[in-house]
A = this chain, B = another copy of it.
Amino acid sequence: MSTYELYAVVMAGGSGTRFWPASRRNLPKQFLPISGSKAMIRDTVDRLKGLVPMERILVVTGAVHAPLVAKHLRKLPPENVLCEPVGRNTTPCVAWAAVEIARRAPHSVQVVLPSDHVIRPAAGFRKTLAAAAEEAADSGALLTLGVQPSFASTGYGYIERGELLHTRPGAQICGVTRFVEKPDRERAEQFLHSGRFLWNAGIFVWSTPSILAALREHAASTLSGIEEIVRAGDNATLTRVWPGLPAVAIDVAVMEKARSVRVVPIEFEWSDVGSWTALPDVHPADAHAHVVAGGAELVAQDSSHCIAYGPKGEIIALLGVRDLVVVHSGKVTLVIPRERAQDVRWLVAELERRDPRHI
């Protein structure tokens, strides 16, 4: 068993509007109580409790969202928040965290994970992360966690699992045959039935020297830009260099190319909670298959299969309706059928023109 410090990097740069009107440009999903009573980023950090102490958790977020990070993670040291001037996808984010952690603990291992996913139970997840960290420290490989698919999703990237290399308590370590972009319906069905494909959940485990070496090999210009930023340590350098870094996902820039990549299949309850219709995946439904979140109270009659979201102290009252998403948040009331929930972006686009205060 190796000796190393385990760090966590929480990627909180998302800024989607798929949860509009609850999520706004200045209040993305990770800062909302979408999956429980606390902000998702808070749940993400709480999930690491006992595995990674707060002082070894780094959060990478948009500069405008730094106050929200401080609000929801009061015990996080301010120097652990890395503020991106603009979103540049995950490669610069991973590189910045890696260089910053190398400065503090060159021989550490890192867990890198999104701030807005649901994974349960937390204890099992920590056990898997700990085993993956051991593997990363021992082997120097870049590890990714792969979710056992439960249906033929066309919304996720896939990882084709290779042979089982060995088993640790809490984790099977497998080779990776290939990464596959989001497939069409037919290929997704094939993937599901083959039993060899896993959803790419965007959760990574690697040692700090390994990720730095891989970045140097496959994303050299990004890494040197980041090194310049960390060396200078001032905002002028950050805002000058950062926007020029290529906006590429770490999967594409590094994982698909790196030589020693392994995957740890996980069978936990997992959801990236991608839109309002994902709420039933992470909240228990009531006797009429309604799901309510955000703290509001639901009062429903002759209704079923609705998704309701509103703040604490508010009421959502439904009668004679089914399969609707009903949201009240910040002076906006939204009503949309469940099967069209992703079209909320059309309304966002319309309001962008008419009254962008509500976006």
Contact = CB atoms under 8 A, between A and B. Distances in A.
Interface of A: 21, 297, 299, 301-302, 310, 313-321, 324, 326, 328, 331-337, 340, 343-344, 346-347, 350-351, 354-355, 358
12 contacts: A299-B347, A301-B343, A314-B331, A315-B333, A315-B351, A316-B333, A317-B332, A319-B340, A319-B344, A319-B346, A321-B336, A333-B333
Nearest to A339: B320
A299 B302 CA distance: 27
A127 B36 CA distance: 62
Contacts of A336: 317-321
Nearest to A315: B332
A326 B333 contact: yes
Contacts of A315: 21, 331-333, 351, 355, 358
Given A328-B328, A354-B299, A333 B347 contact: no
Nearest to A301: B346
Contacts of A314: 331-333
A357 to B, nearest CB: 9
A337 B324 CA distance: 12
B332 A347 contact: no
A347 B316 contact: no
A241 B232 CA distance: 86
Contacts of A319: 335-337, 340, 343-344, 346-347
Contacts of A324: 321, 335
A334 B317 contact: yes
Contacts of A320: 336-337, 340, 343
Nearest to A324: B335
Given A299-B350, A350-B299, A335 B318 contact: yes
Contact of A321 (B335, B344, B351): B335
A343 B318 CA distance: 11
B355 A317 contact: no
A305 to B, nearest CB: 13
A301 B343 CA distance: 10
A350 to B, nearest CB: 6
Nearest to A297: B355
Contacts of A343: 301-302, 319-320
Nearest to A340: B320
A326 B335 contact: yes
Given A301-B347, A319-B347, A333-B333, 18 more contacts: A297-B355, A299-B350, A301-B343, A302-B340, A314-B331, A315-B333, A317-B332, A317-B333, A317-B334, A317-B335, A317-B347, A318-B335, A319-B337, A319-B340, A319-B346, A324-B335, A326-B335, A328-B333
Contacts of A301: 343, 346-347, 350
Contacts of A328: 328, 333
Residue of A326, A334, A335, A351 most packed against chain B (CB within 10 A) = A335
Contact of A351 (B313, B317, B332, B347): B317
Residue of A315, A326, A354 most packed against chain B (CB within 10 A) = A315
A326 B310 CA distance: 15
Nearest to A326: B335
A2 B261 CA distance: 102
